């Protein structure tokens, strides 16, 4: 199944606690390389999911689009694609974090824990704790985006942690091609989730990266998504 993205608008959504700056680093160059036009709506705490869905709706008014995102953004994009198959060309899902209800998914637990820390200890102290348990490149990214999203960040983290991603049964109805990038060594976004999404969707493929690869070059994440899509 060949997917042509040249001239297509691709709306890419940020992950939990992250922002459009990082999405741009990860996807702008790979998408530019295939001739696509990228939109990266900024996260809007206090209505995070609604703002993502509104950005997708707005872009689709101009014609068919491709959709995608990182972590939470991937789940929202896939859900939107299921609801709008007639206007969706492809899905690019980077680091999907869970399938269906979040329950005890590591990413959901981490988001709730961070929200509690931020409310209890404040931004500065919670950021120090986050940096101590994160790879240096991720600590830098989140320190920047957390400052930008403060003071509404705890609400956004909790909203993300409650989001119900597409189930296996729903993904089985996704007739749109989907390229998935999963990390082999990310405890927050388990490889098994990416593999599960690829197995459930009829026209999907997964490619893997490591956290070190993403840290050295964020575009490795976007390139993996596009390589997966090309192999569907």
pLDDT digits (tens, 9 = 90+) for 193-212: 999 999 999 999 999 999 99
Rounded average pLDDT over 31-56: 94
Which residues have CB under 8 Å from 64's CB, separation 6+? 8, 87, 88, 89
Rounded average pLDDT over 7-23: 97
- Let me know: does 30 contact 66? Beta carbons within 8 Å: no
Whole-number pLDDT of residue 2: 78
- Let me know: does 206 contact 228? Beta carbons within 8 Å: yes
| pLDDT at residue 1 greater than cutoff 80 | no
Helix (H, G, I), strand (E, B) or coil at 9: strand
What is the overall mean pLDDT for the chain? Answer: 96
Q: How far is CA 2 from the centre of its chain?
A: 23
| pLDDT at residue 75 greater than cutoff 80 | yes
| pLDDT at residue 45 greater than cutoff 90 | no
Rounded average pLDDT over 64-74: 98
**Measured distance CA(182)–CA(147) in Å, rounded:** 27
Band (pLDDT 50/70/90 cuts) for residue 113 is very high
Whole-number pLDDT of residue 46: 81
Return the CATH number of 9-102+164-230, one of 3.30.9.10, 3.40.35.10, 3.30.70.1560, 3.40.50.1820.
3.40.50.1820
Band (pLDDT 50/70/90 cuts) for residue 87 is very high
For the stretch 128-163, pLDDT in tens is 999 999 999 999 999 999 999 999 999 999 999 999
Band (pLDDT 50/70/90 cuts) for residue 66 is very high
Residue 187 φ then ψ, to 5°:
-70, -20
Q: Between the CA of residue 158 and those of 6, 75, 171, 185, 211, what are the distances in Å?
A: 37, 15, 24, 25, 25
Band (pLDDT 50/70/90 cuts) for residue 53 is very high
pTM: 0.97
The residues spanned by each domain of the chain are 9-102+164-230, 106-159
């Amino acid at each position: 199944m060949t997917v042509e993205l040249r001239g297509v608008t691709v709306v890419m959504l940020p992950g939990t606690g992250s922002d459009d700056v990082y999405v741009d680093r990860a996807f702008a160059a790979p998408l530019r390389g295939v001739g696509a036009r990228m939109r990266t709506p900024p996260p809007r705490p206090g209505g995070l999911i609604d703002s993502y869905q509104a950005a997708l709706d707005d872009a689709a008014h101009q014609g068919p689009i491709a959709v995608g995102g990182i972590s939470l953004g991937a789940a929202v994009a896939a859900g939107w694609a299921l609801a709008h198959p007639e206007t969706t060309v492809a899905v690019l899902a980077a680091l999907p974090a869970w399938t269906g209800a979040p329950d005890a998914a590591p990413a959901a637990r981490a988001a709730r824990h961070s929200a509690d820390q931020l409310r209890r200890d404040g931004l500065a102290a919670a950021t120090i704790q986050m940096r101590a348990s994160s790879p240096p490149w991720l600590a830098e990214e989140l320190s920047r985006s957390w400052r930008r999203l403060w003071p509404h960040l705890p609400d956004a983290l909790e909203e993300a942690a409650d989001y119900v991603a597409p189930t296996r049964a729903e993904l089985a109805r996704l007739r749109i091609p989907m390229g998935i990038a999963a990390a082999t060594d990310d405890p927050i976004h388990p490889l098994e989730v990416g593999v599960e999404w690829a197995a459930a969707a009829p026209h999907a493929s997964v490619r893997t990266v490591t956290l070190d690869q993403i840290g050295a070059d964020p575009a490795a994440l976007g390139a993996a998504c596009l390589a997966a899509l090309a192999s569907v």
